[in-house]
């Protein structure tokens, strides 16, 4: 069945790059998404990538997709304390558009 | 438009009681989704509507759960005879389906349910 897995925790120093990894099982996924969740706030879409792309860059965010290995990563350059949050990767492949989320990676940014 | 709103934000109830949550999507969004998120986990899909039609329900949605979207705008999620295991954050999201399969979902702030 569909499954998405992420590492649970990442700690970096302010100014460093952060890399959050995700693996998924559904090879029919057409879009893969990264969402951010801050305490008390709703899920916010950060970026997405279409399955026929290898890389997408959006300001400080770089998404890499290895479709053969079903591996997705999110790189945040020059990580700031405001980037501290839980990051979820999600896949969507069916016509329903329903999202299958990983369990989330907590990013801690130390000053 | 102020985005997706949910009401109430918090609900505390006793086991066995019925609860109802409301979601107001972004206007003109034709798809509406319900997810459930427990502590330390990602959101899990429960059900979704396209306009007023409920098109898919997860196996997570037992017969104690019912959802409606009567006029294709707001939606309600009702849980009957609540159990402690129902304690979670219930998230609503809406999107506008285009011809492409890209489906950006906008999430509401959620309703946190605590069953005592």
pLDDT, tens digit (0-9, with 9 covering 90-100), for B3-18: 999 999 999 999 999 9
Q: Across the interface, do A96 and B97 touch by the CB < 8 Å criterion?
A: no
* A1 pLDDT more than 70: no
pLDDT tens figures, B62-106: 899 999 999 889 999 999 999 999 999 999 999 987 766 677 899
Q: Across the interface, do B56 and A45 touch by the CB < 8 Å criterion?
A: no
Q: Does A46 touch chain B (CB under 8 A)?
A: no
In this structure, the number of other CB atoms found within 10 A of the CB of residue A78 comes to 11
Q: How far B37 CA sits from the closest chain A CA (Å)? A: 10
Output the DSSP codes for A17-73: -EEEEEEE--TT--EEEEEEE-TTS-EEEEEEEETT-SEEEETTEEEEEETTTTEEE
* B1 pLDDT more than 60: no
Cβ A100 vs Cβ B58: under 8 Å:
no
């Amino acid at each position: 069945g569909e499954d998405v897995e992420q590492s649970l925790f990442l700690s970096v120093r302010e100014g460093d790059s952060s890399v959050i990894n995700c693996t998924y099982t559904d090879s029919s996924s057409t879009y893969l998404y990264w969402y951010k969740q801050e305490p008390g706030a709703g899920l916010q879409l950060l970026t997405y990538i279409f399955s026929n792309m290898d890389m997408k860059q959006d300001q400080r965010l770089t998404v890499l997709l290895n479709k053969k290995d079903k591996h997705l990563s999110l790189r945040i350059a020059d990580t700031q304390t405001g980037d501290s949050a839980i990051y979820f990767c999600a896949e969507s492949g069916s016509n329903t558009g329903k999202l299958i989320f990983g369990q989330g990676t907590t990013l801690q940014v130390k000053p | 438009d102020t985005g997706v709103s949910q009401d109430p934000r918090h609900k505390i109830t006793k086991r066995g009681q019925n609860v109802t949550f409301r979601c107001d999507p972004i206007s003109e969004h034709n798809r509406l989704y319900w997810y459930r998120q427990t502590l330390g986990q990602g959101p899990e899909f429960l059900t979704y509507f396209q306009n007023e039609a409920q098109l898919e329900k997860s196996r997570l949605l037992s017969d104690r759960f019912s959802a409606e979207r009567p006029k294709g705008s707001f939606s309600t999620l009702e849980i009957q005879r609540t159990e402690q295991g129902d304690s979670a954050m219930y998230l609503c999201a809406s999107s506008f389906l285009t011809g492409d399969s890209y489906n950006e979902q906008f999430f509401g702030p959620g309703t946190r349910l605590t069953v005592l």
